[in-house]
Amino acid sequence: MTTSSAPGKVYLFGEHAVVYGEPAVPCAIERRASVTVEERDDGRLSVEAADLTLDGFTVTWGADGPDRPDVDVPTPLVEAAMGYVDGAIEQARDAADRPDAGFDVTVSSEIPLGAGLGSSAAVVCAAIDAATRELGVSLPAEEVADRAYRVEHEVQDGQASRADTFCCAVGGAVRVQGDDTRRIADVPTLPFVVGYDGGAGDTGELVAGVRALREEYGFAADTVSAIGDLVREGEAALRAGDLEELGRLMDFDHGLLSALGVSSRSLDTMVWAAREGGALGAKLTGAGGGGCIVALDETDGAKTALDYTPGCEEAFRAELDTEGVRAE
Ligand code: PMV
């Protein structure tokens, strides 16, 4: 039996613009997904994911496709989760040159699903790492990242950047621009506070919405480029350890993302609650439409304000996690 875990992430800056070749800076956070695998000898795959969705589910599948003993009507989230785990196991079989290996897989996660915190990337990275190690092969984190990206790319119909998977695999704060992925050294302590509205956005739909706006309006394309410029300023602030400037730029980024139509009433409400609670800055994180915001706050003010904000289902502190995928 082998267990690996990988962290979730927030976007400090740059979601959506990264799809058009601008840089983005995601940061791993201390909330993890864990995957335990045990090889089985019939070549089939059995997946148990008790807390991956509100329902939890167990599915078993093999060459003939899935049986779904515990899922009457698989929700789109369950279908997607199955796709991610299936893809991760395929990558592990390929990496270990064991195309017929079967596994019992147990997934558990502290990361809300589809809410902009990189839940799928964390599950995929942890699953690839655990399943390859179960087969006696140990992959460097960069290879886990690359293989996890291939899975996300496939499951998300080609609409995935390397940001989530690279960040979850290597940990810390990273910079991603197209295929250029690197870890950012000497990052200060980043006092993140996350607010979660209990919902999820549809990444494909939101990415398509930004694409349509960009095609219709030159100023929407300029807005995407402005996010790129903002990210470059943000990298300088990160290097300088200037948290106040980082906060100002997070506020600005949220404004630009709102202009691109990817915020929502609940995200805006949580962003304003965090700011009024004393955060240095706050913005949505990930695709938007619903899900999570991230604020920067060294005091308890933003978290307390979010705790009392109607529509905020959960607020928590999440320090930067410098460790990526790891054996447990
Ligand atoms: O919501 P998430 O964590 O899947 O992030 C999506 C980020 C986008 O930039 C909108 C898309 C991408 O693949 O980078």
- Whole-number Å distance, alpha carbon 206 to ligand 1 midpoint, is 9
CB 15 near ligand 1, within 6 Å: yes
- In this prediction, residues 260-275 reach a mean pLDDT of 98
What does the pLDDT look like over 94-142, one tens digit per residue?
Answer: 999 999 999 999 888 888 877 889 888 999 999 999 999 999 999 999 9
Residue 310, classed as helix, strand or coil, is coil
Q: Has 169 been labeled as part of a binding site?
A: no
Q: In this model, does residue 83 exceed pLDDT 70?
A: yes
Where does the pLDDT of residue 306 fall: very low under 50, low under 70, confident under 90, or very high at 90 and above? very high
Q: Which residues contact 135 (CB under 8 A, 6 or more apart)?
A: 39, 92, 93, 96, 98, 101
Q: In this model, does residue 154 exceed pLDDT 70?
A: yes
CATH number of 191-319: 3.30.70.890
With CA atoms as reference, report the closest residue to 101 among 41, 58, 35, 37.
Answer: 41
With CA atoms as reference, report the closest residue to 150 among 130, 177, 169, 174.
Answer: 169
- As beta bridge partners, residue 107 has 35
Where does the pLDDT of residue 60 fall: very low under 50, low under 70, confident under 90, or very high at 90 and above? low
Cα angle 176, 179, 184 (rounded to 5 degrees) comes to 30
Where does the pLDDT of residue 28 fall: very low under 50, low under 70, confident under 90, or very high at 90 and above? very high
Q: Which residues contact 56 (CB under 8 A, 6 or more apart)?
A: 49, 50, 70
- Whole-number Å distance, alpha carbon 189 to ligand 1 midpoint, is 24
- State residue 49's pLDDT score: 75
- State residue 52's pLDDT score: 56
CA distance between the termini of the chain: 11
Q: Maximum CA pair distance of the chain? A: 58
- State residue 58's pLDDT score: 57
The C-alpha atoms of residue 265 and residue 176 are separated, in whole angstroms, by 29
The C-alpha atoms of residue 301 and residue 327 are separated, in whole angstroms, by 35
- In this prediction, residues 263-288 reach a mean pLDDT of 97
CA atoms lying within 13 Å on the CB side of residue 39:
14
- State residue 82's pLDDT score: 78
CB 124 near ligand 1, within 6 Å: no
- State residue 230's pLDDT score: 98
- Closest Cα to atom 5, ligand 1: which residue? 286
CB 164 near ligand 1, within 6 Å: yes
Query: Which tops the pLDDT comparison, 120 or 255?
Result: 255
- State residue 73's pLDDT score: 44
> pTM to 2 decimals?
0.91
CA atoms lying within 13 Å on the CB side of residue 150:
15
Q: In this model, does residue 46 exceed pLDDT 90?
A: no
Q: Which atom of ligand 1 is nearest to the CA of 156?
A: 13
**Crossing angle, helix 141-155 and helix 119-134, to 10 degrees?**
120
- State residue 69's pLDDT score: 47
- Closest Cα to atom 13, ligand 1: which residue? 160
Could you list the active site residues? 164
- Whole-number Å distance, alpha carbon 260 to ligand 1 midpoint, is 14
Pick the CATH number of 2-184 from 3.40.50.11030, 3.30.230.10, 3.50.50.60, 1.10.10.10: 3.30.230.10
CB 19 near ligand 1, within 6 Å: yes
- In this prediction, residues 150-166 reach a mean pLDDT of 87
The C-alpha atoms of residue 284 and residue 319 are separated, in whole angstroms, by 17
Q: In this model, does residue 71 exceed pLDDT 70?
A: no
Helix%, strand%, coil% for the chain, nearest 5:
40, 25, 35
- State residue 63's pLDDT score: 43
Q: Which of 20-34, 44-58, 269-283 has the lowest mean pLDDT?
A: 44-58
Query: Which tops the pLDDT comparison, 297 or 81?
Result: 297
Instruction: Say which DSSP state 157 is in.
Output: T
CB 161 near ligand 1, within 6 Å: yes
Question: How is the chain split into domains, by residue range?
Answer: 2-184, 191-319
Asked if residue 164 lies in contact with residue 152, where contact means CB atoms within 8 angstroms, the answer is yes
- In this prediction, residues 286-291 reach a mean pLDDT of 94
- Whole-number Å distance, alpha carbon 15 to ligand 1 midpoint, is 6
